[in-house]
Amino acid sequence: MTLNQQRKLKTFLTGLFAWTVALVLFFPIFWMFITSFKTELQAISVPPSLFFEPTLDNFRIVQERSDYIHHAWNSVVTSFGSTIIALIIAIPAAYSMAFFPGKKTKDILLWMLSTKMLPAVGVLVPIYILCRDYGLLDSKTALVIIFTLMNLPIIVWMLFSYFKDLPKEILEAARMDGATPWDEVVKVVLPLSVGAISSTALLSIVLCWNEAFWSLNLTASDAAPLTAMIASYSSPEGLFWAKLSAASTLACAPIVIFGWFCQKQLVQGLTFGAVK
């Protein structure tokens, strides 16, 4: 075999291997998707059926029975709402820490991150009781507040690491050009970090959308986002797989598709820009 043929074979084997890994990991999602178009009988047939006449009945039933639109709306409101609030609070903090670092900056950042290490169960009881006492149980307000605080450290970190990577000289050039601090932020920093801010927002939305601990414990029906709605399918209807799959597909589709478009930024985001 010539060196060139060897290289081609190697590329082929790499591709084959990569595709196999990807398909195996993706299979459960694929199966969920397929099953959602089956009848209940087809869904539990052994051996599993791959070829069947697809039906949309399951989706109709899911909407009728558990009001998908209602829960999806809750998910949208809590994810987007908390993300926007968190960004508004985090951007000034990240800006000041990245461009005007003091001796304590690193400590503050690590402390912020360490609040993420505080397990939610440690404060479950008081939060539950506070929500109960203020009439916030099963309310979107409570989820928005909690999601905001939950993601705030990560958002500050991500923005901080993006801002820090902005060439300092560009800001100095703006200062020499006569820019006030306000001009600097509005006319230079923000336009330069549109990408960074949006990928931070994306990550925050994904994390909120998939958050399950607080939404399971603090909501019942009114404010229940999709994670909680799906959990309600776990026991009583556990064997109605086709409907379960339809509900799951509906719950995950928006965020999975969303994620596909921004997976690259997400890696950078989630690793605080430490991996490029």
Partner 1 sequence: MKRSITRLLMAPSVIMLLVWMIIPLSMTIYFSTIRYNLLYPGQNNFVGWMNFEFFITDPGFIPAVSNTLILLLSVLIITVVLGVMLSALIDKPFFGQGIVRVLLISPFFIMPTVNALIWKNMMMNPVYGIFAWISESLGFEPIDWLSSYPLMSVIIMVSWQWLPFAILVFVTALQSQDTEQKEAAQMDGATGWHIFRYLTIPHLARPIAVVVMIETIFLLAVFAEIFVSTGGGPGYDSTNLAYLIYNQALLQYDVGVASAGGLFAVLLANIVAFFLIRAVGKNLTV
Partner 2 sequence: MSYLAITELQKHYDNYHALRGINLSITEGEFVVFVGPSGCGKSTLLRTIAGLESSTGGTIELDGRDITELASSKRDLAMVFQSYALYPHMTVADNLSFALRLAKVSDAEIQEKVRSVSASLQLDALLERKPKELSGGQRQRVAIGRAIVRQPKVFLFDEPLSNLDAALRVQMRLELARLHKKLGTTMIYVTHDQVEAMTLADRVVILNAGQIEQVGTPLELYRQPNSRFVAEFIGTPKMNLIAANKLVRHEDSLAIDLLGQNIMFPVNRLKGPLPESVIVGIRPEHMTLVDQGGDISGRIELVEHLGSEAYAHIQLSSDQTIIVKAPARSELKDGQEVSINIDVSEVILFNESDRVISVIPEEA
Which residues contact residue 69 at a Cβ distance below 8 angstroms, ignoring those fewer than 6 apart?
A: 63
**Interface with partner 1, residue 44, by CB under 8 A:** yes
Closer residue to partner 2, CB minimum distance, 188 or 242? 188
Q: Which two tokens stand for residue 60?
A: 């109709």
Closer residue to partner 2, CB minimum distance, 47 or 167? 167
Question: Which residue of 62, 127, 142, 246 would you call a contact of partner 1, by CB under 8 A?
Answer: 127
List of long-range contacts for 123-128, beta carbons under 8 Å, 24+ apart? 124/217, 127/214, 127/218, 128/217, 128/218
Is there a contact between 49 and 38 (Cβ–Cβ < 8 Å)?
A: yes
What residues between 178 and 207 interact with partner 2 by CB under 8 A? 178-180, 183, 187-188, 191-192
What residues between 103 and 142 interact with partner 2 by CB under 8 A? none
Per partner kind, with CB cut-offs from 5 to 8 A, the member of partner 1, partner 2, none near residue 174 is partner 2
In the complex, what is the shortest distance from the CB of residue 201 to partner 2, in angstroms, rounded to a whole number?
A: 19
In the complex, what is the shortest distance from the CB of residue 179 to partner 2, in angstroms, rounded to a whole number?
A: 6
In the complex, what is the shortest distance from the CB of residue 190 to partner 1, in angstroms, rounded to a whole number?
A: 14
Site string for partner 2, 143-162 (x = CB under 8 A): --------------------
d(CA 249, CA 255): 10
**Interface with partner 1, residue 63, by CB under 8 A:** no
**Interface with partner 1, residue 117, by CB under 8 A:** yes
In the complex, what is the shortest distance from the CB of residue 114 to partner 1, in angstroms, rounded to a whole number?
A: 6
Number of residues that bind partner 2 (CB under 8 A): 17
What residues between 150 and 209 interact with partner 1 by CB under 8 A? 152-153, 156, 161, 164, 181, 206, 209
CA torsion 189→112→75→134, rounded to 10°?
A: -120
CB atoms near residue 126 (< 10 Å): 9
